[in-house]
Structure 1
Amino acid sequence: MTDSKVLVITGMHRSGTSLLTQWLYKCGMHVGDHFMGAGIGNEDGHFEDLDFYQYHKNVLKDYHLPEDGMIDEPLVTLSDGQLHEMRKLVNQKNATQQQWAWKEPRTCLFLDHYRQLLPEARYLVILRDYRSVVSSLISRIYSRTSYKYSQKKGFPKFFWEYFKKPFRKRLLLNKHSEHFLRVWIAYNEAILHHLQQLNPAQYLVVDHTALSDNNKQVFEHLSDTWDFKLEYYNYKNVYKENLLSKILDIGHYVKDKSLLVKANDLQEQLKVMV
């Protein structure tokens, strides 16, 4: 291990980690050598380090879990081989960079392991309201279906426009709202537990909705307090408000109402740390 400075950009899927990482990349932070490309719901790219992305997917696959990481509990144990691969990955980054960061939402499932491996790392956590996250996840599925049918012609396109499209989002809400809420809770419980094990000087929690106003304070914390060598890049040049998904009424579709109470309580606990 070297004395490299490491920043872990942490947050649930669809919480704004890609936007935050894109901005830090523009500020001069090394966030990986190979990134995942753009896609529906993320037109500017994910700025996701493919090395961590592939590692996390491989571990999930080993446990016969969904590789997208949409699971409702973190991975408590890893095999010796999996831990070896994690250590090897981190050592490779440390060997080539004096300061570096990574963003990959599935990181939340492995935080206990990264905390032990990188005891001096700093954590930049982005918190986004659970309603917005669940809405965004559902809207992304809807957009993929809509795009697929937009490429078709004739009867399939007609059938989509007049028969399937008007009801599609409601069907998705009914099918996915509760599951996605459970995933949001699991990820953010893992984040809260992780932060409680750290020295408060090691983490910074930012509210997704406040970055437009306080990005300069975030930059100053990274550069002045944590001593990362960066140059400020105007956040407004990467922020695109028109890409935000409409917040849907997910509460109506969550059958277990105790989950809504749990999510609210968890959100409030994390907000205290902002």
Structure 2
Amino acid sequence: MKKKVVVITGMHRSGTSLVTQWLHKCGLHVGDQFLGAGIGNTEGHFEDVDFVEAHRGILRNLTGNDEGLLNLENLCIPAGQEKVLHDLVGRKQSAQAQWGWKDPRTCLFLDAYRVILPEAKYLVILRDYRSVVSSLLSRRFKKSEHKYAVKGGLPLLIWKYFKKTSRKKKLLHQLSDKYLKAWITYNQRILQHLLQQPTGTCLVIDHTCLSKTNQGIYDYITREWQLDLNYYDFSEVYKENLLSDVWNISAYVKDKSLLEKAEELQATLLLHAAY
């Protein structure tokens, strides 16, 4: 029996967890053990722990940061590390006839997966850079907020009336450029991948349209990719109230050329979006 593999990919905070949760509900096997819920992702990540740990381990060795958001310039995966991914895919492939996985760091390993899984299909979630950077910043902000909420009492009052506003501005100053660079790196990798993949093997989805286009996406992947699924009501997993507010990052990005690069890259990728 021919194996069917779907790689769900996109930059961090782009809606990959949402789409993977929905496909999981539709019947796609996306892992035996998932990374749990956390601050900024209360519904769960729906990330296969095996892929997450493999990607984190490689990134830790190469960049010193396993989150996959820093030190990404000229990132190249050595052949020895590719064997880790090859062996992992082999184990997954032998256990399931129809399967997939999601981990945003997959974007950084697409060159390797093109070789390891030449027959794979790719579901790419595209979200605009302002929303993604804002969401990453908001997640860091919520971690600080949670820390003071747990302490309660006087520390919580100090946070509420003195530290809250300054913490937000500090994060904007410190991380806007870094997170925007990461968005650019991830989406450059995606664009390079799209240009090298055969027609019909990649489906690019605009995050902002998901609530309207999910039925069309389902119809496409079951018809064209011949996935054996059962439609699950997308509105049951889509929680608009969980979306972060969009922060004014443009005023805090020091390298303005990054904004121009992001705008151009975003416009180019949107031309590839089918839904």
TM-score bracket for this pair, using the shorter chain length: over 0.9
> What residue is the counterpart of 2:153 in the other structure?
154
**Deviations for 1:128-164, whole angstroms, at most 9, x for unmatched residues?**
0000000000000111110110111333222211110
- 2:30–2:99: 8 Å Cα contact kept in structure 1? yes
- Counterpart of 1:186 in structure 2: which amino acid? T
Range that drifts further, 71-80 or 83-92: 71-80
- 2:77–2:109: 8 Å Cα contact kept in structure 1? no
- 1:29–1:99: 8 Å Cα contact kept in structure 2? yes
- 1:108–1:187: 8 Å Cα contact kept in structure 2? yes
The offset of 1:61, in angstroms, is: 1.6
Where 1:14 maps in the other structure, the secondary structure is: coil
Which residues of structure 2 form unaligned runs of 5+? Answer: none
**Deviations for 1:3-37, whole angstroms, at most 9, x for unmatched residues?**
31100001000000000000000000000010000
Where 2:251 maps in the other structure, the secondary structure is: helix
Question: Aligned partners of 1:77, 1:244: CA distance in 2, in Å?
Answer: 33
Question: Aligned partners of 2:256, 2:21: CA distance in 1, in Å?
Answer: 36
- 1:75–1:110: 8 Å Cα contact kept in structure 2? no
Q: TM-score, normalised by structure 1?
A: 0.97
Number of residue-to-residue matches in the alignment: 272
> What residue is the counterpart of 2:245 in the other structure?
246
Query: Within the alignment, does 1:55 sit opposite 2:65 as a pair?
Result: no
Question: Aligned partners of 1:153, 1:181: CA distance in 2, in Å?
Answer: 34
- 1:40–1:143: 8 Å Cα contact kept in structure 2? yes
**Deviations for 1:104-150, whole angstroms, at most 9, x for unmatched residues?**
00000100000011111000000000000000000001111101101
The offset of 1:74, in angstroms, is: 6.2
**Deviations for 1:45-73, whole angstroms, at most 9, x for unmatched residues?**
00000000000011012224211001334
Which residues of structure 1 form unaligned runs of 5+? Answer: none
- Counterpart of 2:6 in structure 1: which amino acid? L
- Counterpart of 1:221 in structure 2: which amino acid? Y
Q: CA RMSD in A?
A: 1.1
The offset of 1:76, in angstroms, is: 2.1
Query: Within the alignment, does 1:77 sit opposite 2:77 as a pair?
Result: yes
Q: Identity over the aligned pairs, expressed in percent? A: 53
Query: Within the alignment, does 1:181 sit opposite 2:148 as a pair?
Result: no
Question: Aligned partners of 2:167, 2:243: CA distance in 1, in Å?
Answer: 19
> What residue is the counterpart of 1:137 in the other structure?
136
> What residue is the counterpart of 1:257 in the other structure?
256
Question: Aligned partners of 2:69, 2:5: CA distance in 1, in Å?
Answer: 26
- 2:141–2:168: 8 Å Cα contact kept in structure 1? yes
Q: CA 1:74/1:243 → structure 2, altered by over 3 Å: closer, same or farther?
A: farther
Q: How does 1:5-154 map to 2 (within 5 A)?
A: 5-71=4-70, 72-73=72-73, 75-80=75-80, 82-154=81-153
Q: CA 1:97/1:116 → structure 2, altered by over 3 Å: closer, same or farther?
A: same
